[in-house]
Amino acid sequence: MVPNPLPSRYRIIEEVGQGGMAVVYRAQDETLRREVAVKVLHPHLLAEAESRARLQREARAVAKLNHDGILQIFDYSGDDAESSFIVTEFIDGQTLKQFLTNRKLPVPELAALIVLEVGDALAHAHSFGIIHRDVKPENVMVRKDGAVKLMDFGVAQVVDLERMTVTGQILGSPAYMAPEVLDGKTLDFRSDIFSLGVMLYQMATGVLPFAGKNPHEVLKRIGEGRFADPRTVSSRVSDQLAKVIARSLARNPDDRYPRLALMLDDLCTYVVDAGLENPREELRRFFTAPEDYEKGLDHRLATALVASGQREQATRRMARALELWNRALALEPENPTVLAELRRLERGERLRRWVTLAVGLALLVGIGSGTFAIWRHAMRARQGGNAERIVATLQPPGATGPIVAGGPKAPAPRPKLAARPQNVPVPSSHAPREPRRVAAPAERAEPREEAARESLAAAASPQRVELTLGPHPPKVEVWMDGQKRFDFGPRQDRIVVPWDGPHTLEFRNDSCCNRKEVTVGPQAYRPPGDHLYVNLDPKPARLSVTLQPARADASILLREVGDSRPNPWRTTVRPGERVPVPFDAGDEMRKSLDVVVFLGDKTLTERVNITAGESRQVTVRLDQ
C-alpha cells in the first residue's frame, strides 16, 4: 500500500526498497508508457522540514546534471504538495553493496575500474558545483546490463561558487565520512575524494579502512586518520595503488588530490598498465557474467603487466619496470618471463659486486705498494740526513702540493749547488725553502686504506633486505631461524633479513591458529615489493551444549550467523557432545552461532560468540 497519494499517472507495481526516510516503488508512468522508480517520503516525516528539504535537494541537484552515470530525475512533487516524492529512471539491478556482499572482487584492478566510472559521474557533478557528500556502495546501482549509476543526492550541497566551500554538517554515512565533516570545518570537493578513497580501499582489500564496533568508534578512527596499509591487508594491492589510496585518504584535505580528475588520471594509468583500456566495457563483461570474466583473468593481467614492464625497461626506467613486474608476480608468482628477467638482473648485480670487490682489492694493493715506496725513500733520507733531497726525489720540480702515492715518476735529483761566500745575497728565486715534511708511512696511507677497506667490506658483506609484514590475524609472534624476534604490531611490522642464504620466518599464535613458515632468501623467495603477507590457518573451536534441566527428547542445532555463503556451516548435536566448529582460512577469528533447541512445539534460540581455537561449554535453560 502506498503511504502517500500519488498522481494518477503513476501506477505502483511493487515495492523495491526501503530507506531511512523513504520507500522506493517500481511503477508505470501511464502517460509516457515507461517504467519508473518512485521514492516516497514516509508519512511520519512529512511534517519534518529537513526530510522534505533532502528530497527537494536531490531533485534540484540532479535536475542540473546530464550524465550517463547519474540516475535521471523525471518528476518531483513540489515543495507545497500534500505528499513528497521524486520520480526517477528505474534501474533493473542491484546496489553495488549488494553485489559486493555476494562476491568479492578478484583483483584490485576491478576496484579501480569501478571507481573510475563512479568518479567520472562525480566529477561531472563537481563541475556544476555539487558536492555529493554521501558517496558509498549503497548509493551506486549496478544495472543488469553492467552499467554503473551514481544516485541519492539527498544530502548533496551546492557550493558557494565564490568560496567553493560549504559549512560541514554531520550528514552521510560514518564509515565514508571525511574528517573535516567531523571537525565542523568547511567542505569542498575533496570531501567526496575522501569518500571515494574509502570505497577504493574497501573494494581493493575487502575491508573498510576505518572500522569499529559502533559509529562512535568508526568516527574516532577517522578523526585520528590512521588505517592499515592496504598492502598488508591484500597481497595484490601494489605500491602504485597504495599511493593513490593514501593520498585520497589523507586526513588533511590539503594533502589529498586537489581535484578528482588527478586521482582518476592516476587510476587510469594503473589499469592501462594491466591492459584494461576500456573501463566501461570491462565492467559490463564482469557484472553481466562474473564467472566467465574471471576465467584466466590473472594470466591476462599478468601478461599485460609484463609487457608494460618490458616497455619501461627499454626506456631505462628500471624502477618502474620492477614495480610492474611485482604486480605481475602477485598474480602469477611463477611467471617465467619475469623470473627469467629477474635472474638476469641478479646475475648483473652479482657481476657488479665482483667488480667492486676487484677494484677494492686493486686499490689496497696499490696503496700498499705506494706506502712501501714512501717508507723506503724516508729510510734512505734518514740515513743521508738530506730532507731536501727527499722532497726533490718524491716531487717534480716546482711542485708544492702533497705527495701522492703512486703518482708520476719523480725526475732525477738536481745537482748540488756550489757553496756561496758569506754575506752574499741570495736571489729570491733561489731562497732556501723549509724542508717539506714527509708524512710517516702509516699516517699518510690511513685515509685511503680506510676508504678501500670500507669499499671492500661493502662489496663482500651480504645484502640485507627489509620486509614489511602483513600477517592475518595480526596478533602473532615473529620468529626467524628458530629465534623469536618480536611481537607483531603497529610499531613493529618490519624485519631485516640478511640476504646471504635461505632464512625461515615463522608466525605463531598458538591460541587460535596453526603456525605458518615462509622461507626467504636470494635462491628461495623474495616477496613482491618486499611485502610479505601470511594467512595463518585458524584452529577449529570446540563447543558443547548442555540443557538445564536435562531433556532426552530435545534436539539441538548449531548454525553460523551472518555468513552470506550459499551453504553456511550448521550441524545437529546431542546434549553434552563436544563438536568442532570449523574456521576457514579467509574467516575472521570470531564467529557468531545460534544454538537452537527444539523441544516439542517450543523453540529456544541463544546467540553465542566463539573464537578460533577456543573451547567452550554453553548451558541453555529450558525453564526461561
Q: What is the DSSP string of 86-135?
A: EEEE---EEEHHHHHHH---SSHHHHHHHHHHHHHHHHHHHHTTEE----
Q: What angle in degrees, to the nearest 10, is found between the helix axes of 279-288 and 108-127?
A: 120
Contacts of 169-176 with CB under 8 Å at 24 or more apart are: 171/133, 171/134, 172/133, 172/134, 172/136, 173/134, 173/136, 173/138, 174/215, 174/218, 174/219, 174/222, 175/136, 175/208, 175/210, 175/211, 175/218, 176/134, 176/135, 176/136
Q: Are 271 and 113 in contact (CB under 8 A)?
A: yes
Burial of 147 (0-12, 13-18, 19+ CB in 10 A): middle
More confident residue, 119 or 377: 119
Q: What angle in degrees, to the nearest 10, is found between the helix axes of 336-384 and 441-460?
A: 170
Distance CA 593, CA 163 (A): 53
Burial of 334 (0-12, 13-18, 19+ CB in 10 A): exposed
- The CA–CA distances, whole Å, from 230 to 207, 469, 477, 586 equal 9, 12, 21, 16
pLDDT at 149: 95
Q: Identify the residue whose cell numbers are 545460534.
A: 594
29, 134, 192, 273: the active-site residue: 134
Amino acid identity, position 220? K
The listed range with the strongest mean pLDDT (49-63, 89-103, 584-598) is 89-103
Fold for 541-621, please state it.
Immunoglobulin-like (2.60.40)
pLDDT surpasses 60 at 428: no
C-alpha 282 chain-centroid distance: 23
Task: Specify the pairing of strand 590-599 against strand 602-611.
Answer: antiparallel
Amino acid identity, position 554? A
pLDDT at 448: 47
pLDDT at 429: 38
pLDDT surpasses 50 at 164: no
- The pLDDT-based confidence of 415 (bands split at 50, 70, 90) is very low
Q: What is the dihedral of CA 37, 42, 48, 53, to 10 degrees?
A: -10
The arithmetic mean of pLDDT across residues 76-101, rounded, is 87
C-alpha dihedral sign at 204, 205, 211, 215: positive
Backbone angles phi, psi at 545, to 5 degrees: -120, 125
- The pLDDT-based confidence of 366 (bands split at 50, 70, 90) is low
Give the tens place of pLDDT for each residue, 107-128. Answer: 999 999 999 999 999 999 999 8
Q: Identify the residue whose cell numbers are 631505462.
A: 316
Q: Is 594 tagged catalytic?
A: no
Task: Give the lowest-confidence range in 25-29, 435-439, 579-583, 593-597.
Answer: 435-439
More confident residue, 459 or 284: 284
Alpha helical stretches, state H, 249-296: 260-273, 279-288, 290-294
Contacts of 273 (CB under 8 A, 6+ apart): 240, 304, 305, 308, 324, 327
pLDDT surpasses 80 at 371: no
Give the tens place of pLDDT for each residue, 537-555. Answer: 888 999 999 999 888 888 8
The arithmetic mean of pLDDT across residues 360-383, rounded, is 54
Give the tens place of pLDDT for each residue, 269-311. Answer: 999 999 999 999 999 999 999 999 999 999 999 999 999 999 9
C-alpha cell at 226: 590512521
pLDDT at 231: 87
pLDDT surpasses 60 at 197: yes
Distance CA 546, CA 576 (A): 5
pLDDT surpasses 90 at 376: no
- The pLDDT-based confidence of 400 (bands split at 50, 70, 90) is very low
Backbone angles phi, psi at 397, to 5 degrees: -60, 135
The listed range with the strongest mean pLDDT (227-231, 366-370, 558-562) is 227-231
Q: Are 512 and 519 in contact (CB under 8 A)?
A: no
C-alpha cell at 207: 575491508
Coil, strand or helix at 328: helix
The listed range with the strongest mean pLDDT (151-165, 279-293, 457-471, 480-494) is 279-293
Contacts of 65 (CB under 8 A, 6+ apart): 124, 125, 128, 130
The arithmetic mean of pLDDT across residues 67-84, rounded, is 85
Distance CA 493, CA 482 (A): 19
* 164 dihedral zone (left: phi>0; alpha: psi -120 to 50; beta): left
Distance CA 419, CA 208 (A): 96
C-alpha dihedral sign at 290, 293, 298, 302: negative
Q: Are 83 and 75 in contact (CB under 8 A)?
A: no
Distance CA 303, CA 318 (A): 18
Give the tens place of pLDDT for each residue, 312-327. Answer: 999 989 889 989 998 9
More confident residue, 213 or 248: 248
pLDDT at 563: 56
pLDDT at 215: 76
What is the DSSP secondary structure assignment for residue 415, as one 8-state letter? P
More confident residue, 212 or 179: 179
Nearest alpha carbon to residue 376 among 412, 399, 411, 405? 405
Q: What percent of the chain has pLDDT over 90?
A: 36
Write out the H or E segment, with its range, that includes residue 573: strand 570-573
Task: Give the lowest-confidence range in 23-32, 156-165, 325-334, 610-619.
Answer: 156-165
Average pLDDT of the chain?
79
What architecture is the 94-295 domain classified under in CATH?
Orthogonal Bundle (1.10)
The arithmetic mean of pLDDT across residues 379-389, rounded, is 48
pLDDT surpasses 50 at 203: yes
Angle subtended at Cα 94 by Cα 93 and Cα 98, rounded to the nearest 5 degrees: 155
* 443 dihedral zone (left: phi>0; alpha: psi -120 to 50; beta): alpha
Q: What angle in degrees, to the nearest 10, is found between the helix axes of 239-248 and 318-331?
A: 100
Coil, strand or helix at 296: coil
- The pLDDT-based confidence of 135 (bands split at 50, 70, 90) is very high
Q: Are 580 and 548 in contact (CB under 8 A)?
A: no
pTM (predicted TM-score)? 0.60
Fold for 10-90, please state it.
Phosphorylase Kinase; domain 1 (3.30.200)
